[in-house]
Amino acid sequence: MNYRGLNVLVTGGLGFIGSNLTLRLVELGAKVTIVDPILPGCGGNACNIDPVRESVRVIGADISDAAQFRDTIAASDVIFNLAGEISHLHSMHFPERDLQINTVAQLRFLLECKAAARGVRIVYAGTRQVYGKPRYLPVDEGHSIEPVDFNGVHKYAATQYHRMLTRTGDLDAYMLRLTNVYGPRMALDAVCQGFLSTYVRRLLLGQPLEIYGDGRQLRDPVYVDDVVQSFLIAGRAQGTISRSFNVGGPEALSLAELARLAASAAGAPEPVLRPFPDDRKNIDIGSYRTDNNRIGRELDWSPRVRFADGIRRTLDFYRERLPHYLPTGDVGPVCNMPEHSGAPRRLTYAEVARHS
């Protein structure tokens, strides 16, 4: 994991995981360049890199326009590819938007990497959503690929681009399939980005937590510091058998238990159960738990932060910095569900409550 003096490119580096990774890379002595256009709803926030703002270079470009920063790609020793849209719900409402961001842009970027820096190490942020509704638990990398939404389909296509170009020797890519990631620097000002950011947002706004369904579905959230460690290890890995790895948390808890622990950490009332909205019921995968054996065996990685501790750290982070992550007044988070014009808009808090 020696990064001192290396030129490192982080796509999506102003977003949640990308910014946390950037901060750690700077600590390790890397020379970091971020590429991030701050697309509405995708989580980019310039405040995320405040502690290292003077130590990193930021290019405000989309990865689909990678020719604009070809020299940066050519000079990179390692590329961490975290650009993309993560909302499963938005992908169902706006599949062509998701296709453009998560597939077309990725293909253009990788072809530019092939031309400018053949054989460069790339670590791609994939998703466990490619597996769809699990046939068995825990889910290992041999599980069938059966995504239930366009986001899973498009992210899997991008994974296959990385894999194919690695087989041909044009790239040297590792793909990490992440479960629900949480922690400091999550986007709270964008709706439909996952239940954990919704939990944190509602708790910070003094709103009760709501659980869809009976709350028995299992999840294994993974704290962002653990995820960053998995990327760092993959970025310098040598001689592994595999190229795709699941990355999940240390424990599987029901949604009801996760909500209870989060509410307890915030001193909030007990969560309440709500019926599943129809648009979410169709893409719900039921229970999920990650099998981390492969990444533990080949990369010597394992998650360390349990949810009760991680959610407390997360809430503490936002309490000190809330104005940077949630607007105040009559308007709420940015909605990246475009109107007919295609332009994003801000929601009222009443609308946020409906989306949450």
pLDDT digits (tens, 9 = 90+) for 6-44: 999 999 999 999 999 999 999 999 999 999 998 876 788
pLDDT digits (tens, 9 = 90+) for 238-280: 999 999 999 999 999 999 999 999 999 999 999 998 887 766 6
User: Of 220, 345, 283, 343, whose CA–CA distance to 90 is shortest?
Assistant: 283
Mean pLDDT of 89-109: 91
164's tokens? 């194919």
Q: What is the pLDDT of residue 281?
A: 65
User: Of 76, 193, 39, 61, whose CA–CA distance to 127 is shortest?
Assistant: 193
Q: What is the pLDDT of residue 280?
A: 66
Mean pLDDT of 336-354: 36
User: Of 86, 108, 248, 81, whose CA–CA distance to 173 is shortest?
Assistant: 81
User: Of 168, 262, 255, 267, whose CA–CA distance to 219 is shortest?
Assistant: 255
Domain 7-186+222-247 matching CATH 3.40.50.2000: the answer reads no
Local confidence band at 346 (pLDDT 50, 70, 90 cut-offs): very low
Q: What is the pLDDT of residue 90?
A: 75
Q: Is the pLDDT of residue 168 over 90?
A: yes
Domain ranges of the chain: 7-186+222-247, 195-217+255-288+307-355
22's tokens? 């950037």
Residue % of the chain over a pLDDT of 90: 77
pLDDT digits (tens, 9 = 90+) for 131-163: 999 999 999 999 999 999 999 999 999 999 999
Local confidence band at 76 (pLDDT 50, 70, 90 cut-offs): very high
Do 7-186+222-247 and 195-217+255-288+307-355 fold alike per CATH?
Answer: no
Query: Going by C-beta distance under 8 Å and a sequence separation of 6 or more, which residues neighbour residue 303?
Result: 222, 223, 226, 247, 248, 249, 250, 292
Domain 195-217+255-288+307-355 matching CATH 1.10.730: the answer reads no
Beta strand pairing status for 345-348 and 210-212? unpaired
Q: Is the pLDDT of residue 191 over 70?
A: no
Averaged confidence pLDDT in the chain: 89
Local confidence band at 328 (pLDDT 50, 70, 90 cut-offs): low
